Structure 1
Amino acid sequence: MLQHRVKSIGKILLLAPQQIEPSPFQARTNFDQQEIARLALSIAQNGLLQPVTVRKVQNGRYQLIAGERRLRACKLAGLTEIPAILCDYEDDQTAALGLLENVQRQGLDPFEQARGIKEVIALWGCTQEEAARRLGIAQPTLNNKLRLLALTAQQQEYCVAHGLTERHARAVLRLPAEQQRTQALEQFVKQSMNARQADAYVERLLTDKPRHRHAIPMVRDVRIFVNTINRAVRLMVDAGVPASTKRTEGEGYVEYTVHIPTATSASS
C-alpha cells in the first residue's frame, strides 16, 4: 500500500484522503450527489479553497470534524493530498462543530437537525436550555426542532421526499393520532398547500368536529332489561291484556319477542 507523507505547515496538514476517517457525529444522512459532483469539478479546477478540519486519532490517522462534503468532493476529484486544519477537540466539541457547520452551510433537513441536536445534548449530558445556549440557538427554536422527532420515521421520510417544510411537520403534531397526521401530510402534498394553508387545514380538523346523533344508552346489565320486560308484561296480563313473551337464547345474545294483541283482536 502506498504510504503518503504528512507535511506539517503550521496548523495545516497535507493529508491523503484515505487517512481521514468520517466523523461518527455526522448528523447528515443524505448527500446530494450532483452537488458533490459540481463541487468536485470546482476543486479540480481551482483547488480546495477552504481546508477541512480534523483531529488526530490512533494509528496515525485523523478523524473529520468538519468538511464532509469537501472531503467527498476531493476524493471524487482524485486529489492525492488535501489541506486539513488540525485541532485538538474532545467528542462533545467535535459533535457540536460538525452540527453547526451543517446548519450554517448546507442546511440539514429538519429531522437531521433534530437528531443531531438530540445526540449533542446526550453527549454533553446537559439540559435543553444549556444546549441552546452553547449551540447559539433560541431555546423555543431548539424545542420546536426536537418536537419533530415525535413523527414516525415513515412520516419524516415522507416530509423530506415531498419537500414539506419544518412548519408543515410541526402543524400535524397538533393532531393526536398517528393516522390523522399521515393523512394530513398526504393532503398537504395532494393539494400543494403552503405552510400557512397547512396550519389552517389542521385548525379546521381540530375545530370542525363531526356532529353525532344522540346515542342510545347501552344497557349495562341485561338482567335489568329482561326483568323490566317481564314486569311490564305481567302488568298487562293483570290488567286483562293477554300479552305474552317468547325468549330465545343464542350464542352471545338473548332475543325477546313480546306479543301484545290490539284492542280489536283481543275482543274478537
Structure 2
Amino acid sequence: MARKALGRGLSALISEPSWGERAEGTGPTPIPIDRIEPNPWQPRRDFGEEELEELKSSIRAHGLLQPILVRRVGDSYQLVAGERRLQACRDLGMAEIPALVVEADDRQMLELALVENIQRQDLSPLEVAEAIERLMADFELTQEEVANRLGWSRSAVANKVRLLRLSPQVREMLRDGSISEGHAKVLAGLEPELQLKLAERVASTGMSVRALEETLRGNRRRKPKGEGVETPQEIREAASRASKGVKLAVTRRGEVYRITLEADEEGALRLLRSIAELFPGK
C-alpha cells in the first residue's frame, strides 16, 4: 500500500494570502543558476548520491518537470524549495533553471522547505523533528500552530518532537536504520542508559515495536528499585507527632517519599492550615 502523503502541499501554502503574491509573473521564470543562493533554512541534511543520480538521469531524458521556488534578495535569488533539483541541474552544467519567484519571509522559507520535503518523503524522522523544533523556537509557534501549517494533527507533531528526547547514541541508531521510528518513539520517554540498552537489544535481535512495548510493561510491573527501603527514624517520628486526628503513613521508594493520610474534619482542617502556612499563595 502506498504511503499517504503528509502535509498540505506547496500549492496550498503558496495560494494562501499569508504567503504574499508571486513577485514576478504567474509562471516559471528562467533564472541563472549562479545567481541562486542556498536556503539557510533547509531542513534536509542528507542528500543521497543514488537519488541525485536518478534525478539527473530523469532531467537528461525529460527536462526539469517541476520548477524550483526562489525569493529575490537584492540582485540575486535565494532558494526556497528544490535544493536537489538545483544541485542536479548545476551538476549537469545547465546555465539556467525554471523557477517560481515568490515573496516569503524566513518562517515561510522554513515552512515551505519542510512541507516540500515531507510531501516528497525526503526527510528522515529526525530531520522533520529538528525542523519542527526550529519552527517553534525561532518563530515562537506552538505545536498546534505548526500542526495547522503542516496539515497534521497536534499529536503527530508532538510525536515527532518527542524523538528529540533520544540520546545521541540512539539518535544515530535511528539515522542509520538500526531501529525504526516506532522503536524510537517507545524509547524516547526512557532514561538515556535504558534507551541505549534496549535500542541495542532491538538492533541485535530484531525485536518488534510491540515486543519492545511488552518488555517495558513487564519491567514496570516488577518491584521498582528502592521500594521497601526502610523509612528513616527521623521521618517516622515526625509522622507520629503529626498524626493526631490523622491516619498517616509514609513509604519510601528510592529517594522519593509518599505520604498517605486519612483524617476526620478537625484533623483535615489542621492539616490544610499547616500546608497553607508552609506553602503560602502568591
TM-score, length of structure 1 as denominator length: 0.71
Q: Which of 124, 138, 142 is equivalent to 2:153? A: 138
Amino acid at match of 1:106: Q
Contact 2:167 2:195 in 1 (8 A): no
Using the TM superposition, give the Cα deviation of residue 202 of structure 1 relative to its aligned residue in structure 2, in angstroms. Answer: 2.6
Cα distance 1:90–1:207, how it changes in 2: closer, same or farther (>3 A)? same
Return the alpha-carbon distance in structure 2 between the equivalents of residues 75 and 209 of structure 1: 62
Return the alpha-carbon distance in structure 2 between the equivalents of residues 23 and 200 of structure 1: 44
Using the TM superposition, give the Cα deviation of residue 216 of structure 1 relative to its aligned residue in structure 2, in angstroms. Answer: 8.8
Q: Which runs of 4+ in 1 moved over 6 A?
A: 210-220
Tell me, yes or no, if structure 1 residue 47 matches structure 2 residue 63.
yes
Q: How does 1:128-207 map to 2 (within 5 A)?
A: 128-175=143-190, 177-207=191-221
Contact 1:128 1:139 in 2 (8 A): yes
- The 3-state SS of whatever aligns with 2:94 is coil
Structure 1 spans left out of the alignment, 5+ residues = 1-7, 221-268
Q: How does 1:102-117 map to 2 (within 5 A)?
A: 102-117=117-132
Amino acid at match of 1:53: L
Return the alpha-carbon distance in structure 2 between the equivalents of residues 213 and 51 of structure 1: 63
Which structure would you say has the larger RCO, counting Cα contacts within 8 Å and 6 or more residues apart? 2
Taking only aligned residues, the RMSD between alpha carbons, in angstroms, comes to 2.5
Using the TM superposition, give the Cα deviation of residue 106 of structure 1 relative to its aligned residue in structure 2, in angstroms. Answer: 2.7
Tell me, yes or no, if structure 1 residue 27 matches structure 2 residue 35.
no
Using the TM superposition, give the Cα deviation of residue 132 of structure 1 relative to its aligned residue in structure 2, in angstroms. Answer: 1.4
Contact 1:171 1:202 in 2 (8 A): no
Q: Which of 55, 63, 69 is equivalent to 2:78? A: 63
Amino acid at match of 1:154: Q
Cα distance 1:187–1:209, how it changes in 2: closer, same or farther (>3 A)? farther
Structure showing greater Rg: 1
Tell me, yes or no, if structure 1 residue 15 matches structure 2 residue 39.
no
Return the alpha-carbon distance in structure 2 between the equivalents of residues 129 and 216 of structure 1: 46
Using the TM superposition, give the Cα deviation of residue 120 of structure 1 relative to its aligned residue in structure 2, in angstroms. Answer: 1.3
Contact 2:70 2:81 in 1 (8 A): yes
Using the TM superposition, give the Cα deviation of residue 205 of structure 1 relative to its aligned residue in structure 2, in angstroms. Answer: 3.0
Return the alpha-carbon distance in structure 1 between the equivalents of residues 133 and 221 of structure 2: 33
- The aligned counterpart of 1:124 is 139
- The 3-state SS of whatever aligns with 1:88 is coil
- The 3-state SS of whatever aligns with 1:73 is helix
Cα distance 1:219–1:30, how it changes in 2: closer, same or farther (>3 A)? same
Deviates more, 1:151-160 or 1:95-104: 151-160
Contact 1:155 1:182 in 2 (8 A): yes
- The 3-state SS of whatever aligns with 2:79 is strand
Deviates more, 1:139-148 or 1:156-165: 156-165
Percentage identity across paired residues of the two chains:
36
Structure 2 spans left out of the alignment, 5+ residues = 1-23, 235-282
- The 3-state SS of whatever aligns with 1:62 is strand
Contact 2:135 2:141 in 1 (8 A): no
Contact 2:71 2:104 in 1 (8 A): yes
Cα distance 1:194–1:79, how it changes in 2: closer, same or farther (>3 A)? farther
Contact 2:31 2:96 in 1 (8 A): yes
Using the TM superposition, give the Cα deviation of residue 124 of structure 1 relative to its aligned residue in structure 2, in angstroms. Answer: 2.8
Tell me, yes or no, if structure 1 residue 87 matches structure 2 residue 83.
no
Using the TM superposition, give the Cα deviation of residue 39 of structure 1 relative to its aligned residue in structure 2, in angstroms. Answer: 0.6
Contact 1:55 1:86 in 2 (8 A): yes
Cα distance 1:31–1:206, how it changes in 2: closer, same or farther (>3 A)? farther
Q: Deviations over 1:41-60 (max 9, x none)?
A: 111121101011100112x2
